[in-house]
Amino acid sequence: MEQAIQQTNIRKGLTKLVIPIFIETLLIMMLGAVDTIMLSQYSDESVAAVGVVNQIVMFAFLVFEVINIGTSVLCSQYLGAKMQKNMIQVVGVSLLLNLVVGVLISIILHFGATTLLGWMGLRPELLKYGIGYMEIVGAFAFFQAISLTISASLRSANKAIYPMLVTVLVNIMNIVGNYSLIFGKFGMPALAAEGAAISTSVARGVSMIVLFIILFRKHIPSFPLAYFRPFPWIELKNLLKVGLPSAGENLSYSFSQVVITYLINMLGNNALATRTYSVNIIMFVYLFAIAMAQGGAISIGHLVGQKKIRAAYLLGKYVMRLSILVSLVLSCIWAAGGHFIFSLLTDNEEIIRLGVTVMIIDVVVEIGRAVNIYATNALRSAGDVNYPFYMGFTVQWTVSVGFSYLLGIHWGWGLAGMWCAFLLDENIRAILFVRRWNSLKWAKKGFVK
C-alpha cells in the first residue's frame, strides 16, 4: 500500500515536470518549423538550403550537450541528495565551459559557412540561400549554448515552468520577426532566408538574457567565489564523465544524419526538400516522448540520489509504455493525413507523393524512437552513460547509414528506402535498451556516494 502511494506521488511529480517541458519542447520545435513554413511560401529551394544548414548547426549545438547533459544528471542527483553546494559548483562550471565552447563554435560556423556547405555538396542554386543563413545563425550560436545550460539547471530543480515561459516569448518574437524580414513587412527589407536567420538569432539572444535573470532570482542567487577556490575539478571531471559519452551518442546520431543528408542530396532537390518537410512534421510525433523522457530522467535522477532504485525502475517502465502509446497514435494520424499536410506546404506533386510514403513508413519508426528517447535519458540520469553511446554508435552507423546507402542509393529505393533503414535502426536499438533497463545494471552507477 505504501509503495503504491509512493508511486502515485512520483507520477504526480512527473506530470508537473512533463507539462511545462512538453510545451517548451513544442515551442522550440515551432521555432525551427516556423522558418520552414514561412520559407515554403518563398521557395522550395530556400527550404532545402535551410534544411541542410540546420543539420550542420544542430550538429554543432550537440557539442554543447557534452556539458548540458552532465549538468542535468548531476544537478538532479545532487538535489535529490540535498547537496546544494555541489549543485551550484556544477552550474557555475557548466556556464563557463559552454561560454568558451560556444564562442569557438560561433567563429567556426560563421567564417566556415562556405566551406562547410561546399563539403555537403550543396548546388549553386541552393548556396545563395544557405551561406547567408548559416553565417548569421552560426555567429550567434553561443546564445544557445548558455540558454541550454541555464534551462537544464532550472528543469533539474523542478522549475521547468520558467524555460517554458521564456520559449513562449521567443516564439512570438520569431514569428513576428520572420514575417517582417522574410517578406519585407512593416517597413523591413525582404531578406528571405537571411531574414529568418536574423529573426531566429535575435530571439535566441533575448532568451539568454531573460533566462539569466530568472536563474539569479528563482534558483541560484549568487555563485560564491569560495565555492570555486580551489577550482572544483571533481565536478568538471563528473560533468565530462557524464557528458562525453552522452553527447558522443548524440553527436554520432547527428553526424550520421549529416552523412545521410549528403546521400539524400545525391537524389536531387525534391528528395532533399521532402526530407526537410518530413523531419519538421515528424518532430511533432515524438514531441511527447521527448517531454516524458526529460521529465522522467529528472525524476529518476532524484530517486537515484535518494537511493530509491526500485521506484526509479518502475517509473522508467511507466514512462516507456506511455511514450510508445502516444507516439504510435500520433504517427498513425500523421500518416492518414499525409497528403493533406504536404499539400499545405508545397504544390510539387513528387514531393507530396514522397512525403506520403515517408509518413506511412514512419509509423513503425516511431515505436522504436519512443523507446530510444526514453531509455537513453533514463540510463544517463541513473549514471549509466557508456552503454547508450556504445550501442548508439554501433547500430546507427552499421544500420542507419549503411542500409541508407544500400537501400536508398545502391538498390535505388530512394528516400523511402532510407526511411526503411531508419526503421531498422530505431527498433534494433529499442530492443537492446529495454533489455538493459530490465537488467538493473545501471543501479550501481550513480554519482552520489
Asked if residue 145 lies in contact with residue 64, where contact means CB atoms within 8 angstroms, the answer is yes
* Same domain assignment for residues 72 and 220: yes
Ordered per-residue pLDDT tens for the chain, 449 residues: 555 566 666 777 677 777 888 887 777 767 666 767 777 776 777 777 777 787 788 777 777 777 787 788 788 878 877 888 888 998 999 999 889 989 999 999 999 888 888 887 777 777 777 888 888 888 898 898 899 899 888 988 878 889 889 988 888 888 888 788 878 888 788 777 788 888 888 988 999 999 999 999 988 888 998 888 888 888 888 888 877 777 777 778 778 888 888 888 888 888 888 888 888 788 888 888 888 888 888 888 888 878 888 888 988 899 899 999 999 999 999 999 888 988 887 888 888 898 889 899 999 999 999 999 999 888 988 888 888 888 888 998 999 999 999 998 889 898 889 999 999 999 999 999 999 999 988 888 766 65
Task: Identify whether 445 is part of a domain.
Answer: no
* Same domain assignment for residues 162 and 267: no
Q: What share of the chain is helix, strand, coil (3-state, %, to 5)?
A: 85, 0, 15
* Same domain assignment for residues 126 and 180: yes
* Same domain assignment for residues 41 and 147: yes
DSSP 303-327: HHHTT-HHHHHHHHHHHHHHHHHHH
Task: Identify whether 447 is part of a domain.
Answer: no
User: Is the previous residue joined to 224 through a cis bond, with omega within 30 degrees of 0?
Assistant: no
* Same domain assignment for residues 306 and 187: no
Identify the domain boundary among 231, 252, 287.
231
Task: Identify whether 32 is part of a domain.
Answer: yes
Whole-number CA gyration radius for the chain: 21
Q: 167: which 3 cell numbers?
A: 520559449
* Same domain assignment for residues 281 and 394: yes
Query: Could you give the number of structural domains in the chain?
Result: 2
* Same domain assignment for residues 279 and 308: yes
pLDDT, residue 8, reads: 66
* Same domain assignment for residues 306 and 209: no
pLDDT, residue 421, reads: 93
Task: Identify whether 14 is part of a domain.
Answer: yes
Q: How far apart are CA 254 and CA 59, in angstroms?
A: 5
Identify the domain boundary among 231, 254, 285.
231
Task: Identify whether 89 is part of a domain.
Answer: yes
* Same domain assignment for residues 176 and 298: no
* Same domain assignment for residues 80 and 221: yes
Task: Identify whether 449 is part of a domain.
Answer: no
Identify the domain boundary among 205, 231, 257.
231
* Same domain assignment for residues 268 and 215: no
Task: Identify whether 25 is part of a domain.
Answer: yes
Asked if residue 117 lies in contact with residue 131, where contact means CB atoms within 8 angstroms, the answer is yes
Residues 6+ apart with CB under 8 A from 447: 73, 74, 77, 78, 238, 242, 383
Which residue range forms the structural domain that includes residue 193? 1-231
* Same domain assignment for residues 258 and 390: yes
Task: Identify whether 29 is part of a domain.
Answer: yes
pLDDT, residue 33, reads: 67
pLDDT, residue 32, reads: 64
pLDDT, residue 438, reads: 92
Q: How far apart are CA 329 and CA 403, in angstroms?
A: 27
| Element housing 295 (H / E) | helix 287-305
